[in-house]
């Protein structure tokens, strides 16, 4: 199936919007195909503030209606306990809210930005989406991340080269309980590094109170050069600051 055929068959859709490359292109393509489309962004402790800002900016630029709703992801004790399949329970929680919001607005078709490269074996959350009847048009149309980036660039979308950004919960190792305070520590550390000029990065929490910085290969020398500044800035938040010498 081609994407235009999906939109022809489903001319009125709600889209779970993250502000990332895939869901941004899906929204844009739906709008350009003449769909009645609305975006829904769920803001929880797992999304940094810049993702919400990016989503709001994109929706406003392309005149796509956007609903933002707040959700306490940690109110589900299974999610907070952080088992290996945490993402499955988290997606059930989030998409149940999304489905309710969409239905209240009269939308029966809920879509997400899963693409053809996403492997369900590696992403327990995809099982939750399948069980809930969420459509993944980009995946159904066999659109890879590379193709989506190219199409986004051709369309002039500023998201075409945006780095992929997994939710903050992925920074906490499986089996370590997730707390709002811990998520804020990680988010703050990443914000600080962004402000220093680093990009496409992760700050992983390593128990009992350590931060492991992961950067692309071409930023490792810069991190070493800024070692003193990084340690001085992050040391009040974490006991030890580690740098992963294997680029991400």
Provide the residue range defining the domain that includes 131: 3-161
Query: Confidence band (pLDDT; 50, 70, 90) for 248?
Result: confident
Note whether 56 and 117 are same-domain residues: yes
- Predicted confidence (pLDDT) at residue 95 exceeds the cutoff of 90: yes
> Domain with 79 in it: what CATH number?
3.40.50.620
33-82 tens-digit pLDDT:
999 999 999 999 999 999 999 999 999 999 999 999 999 999 999 999 99
Cis peptide before 36 (omega within 30 of 0): no
**Residues with Cβ within 8 Å of residue 9, at least 6 apart in sequence:** none
Q: Cα(31)–Cα(92) distance, rounded to whole angstroms?
A: 27
Note whether 98 and 220 are same-domain residues: no
Q: Cα(137)–Cα(1) distance, rounded to whole angstroms?
A: 9
Note whether 111 and 188 are same-domain residues: no
Query: Confidence band (pLDDT; 50, 70, 90) for 247?
Result: confident
Percent above pLDDT 90 for the chain: 92
Q: Cα(200)–Cα(120) distance, rounded to whole angstroms?
A: 24
Question: With 0-12 CB in 10 A as exposed, 13-18 as middle and 19+ as buried, what is 2?
Answer: exposed
Is 29:7 a contact under the CB 8 Å cutoff?
yes
106-153 tens-digit pLDDT:
999 999 999 998 876 667 788 899 999 999 999 999 999 999 999 999
Note whether 116 and 54 are same-domain residues: yes
Note whether 131 and 30 are same-domain residues: yes
Percent above pLDDT 70 for the chain: 99
pLDDT value for 133 = 95
Buried b (16+ CB within 10 A) or exposed e, 185-218: bbbebbebbeeeebeebbbbbbeeeebbbbbeee
173-212 tens-digit pLDDT:
999 999 999 999 999 999 999 999 999 999 999 999 999 9
Is 215:203 a contact under the CB 8 Å cutoff?
no
Which of 127, 161, 195 is where one domain is finished? Answer: 161
**Overall domain count for the chain:** 2
């Amino acid at each position: 199936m081609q994407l235009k055929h999906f939109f022809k068959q489903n001319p009125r859709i709600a889209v779970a919007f993250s502000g990332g490359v895939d869901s941004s292109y899906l929204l844009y393509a739906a709008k350009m195909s003449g769909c009645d489309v609305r975006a829904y962004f769920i803001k929880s402790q797992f999304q940094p503030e810049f993702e919400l800002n990016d989503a709001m900016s994109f929706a406003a630029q392309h005149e796509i209606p956007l609903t933002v709703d707040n959700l306490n992801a940690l109110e589900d004790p299974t999610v907070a306990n952080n088992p290996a399949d945490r993402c499955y329970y988290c997606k059930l929680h989030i998409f149940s809210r999304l489905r309710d919001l969409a239905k209240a607005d009269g939308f029966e078709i809920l879509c997400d930005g899963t693409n053809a490269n996403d492997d369900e074996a590696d992403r327990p959350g995809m099982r939750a989406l399948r069980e809930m009847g969420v459509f993944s048009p980009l995946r159904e149309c066999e659109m890879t991340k590379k193709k989506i980036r190219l199409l986004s660039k051709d369309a002039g979308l500023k998201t075409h080269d945006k780095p992929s950004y997994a939710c903050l919960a992925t920074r906490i190792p499986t089996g370590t309980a997730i707390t709002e305070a811990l998520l804020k520590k990680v988010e703050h550390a990443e914000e600080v590094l962004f402000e220093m000029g680093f990009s496409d990065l992760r700050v992983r929490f390593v128990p009992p109170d350590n931060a492991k910085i992961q950067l692309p290969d071409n930023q490792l020398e810069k991190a070493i050069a800024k070692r003193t500044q990084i340690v001085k800035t992050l040391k009040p938040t974490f006991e030890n600051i580690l740098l992963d010498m294997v680029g991400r």
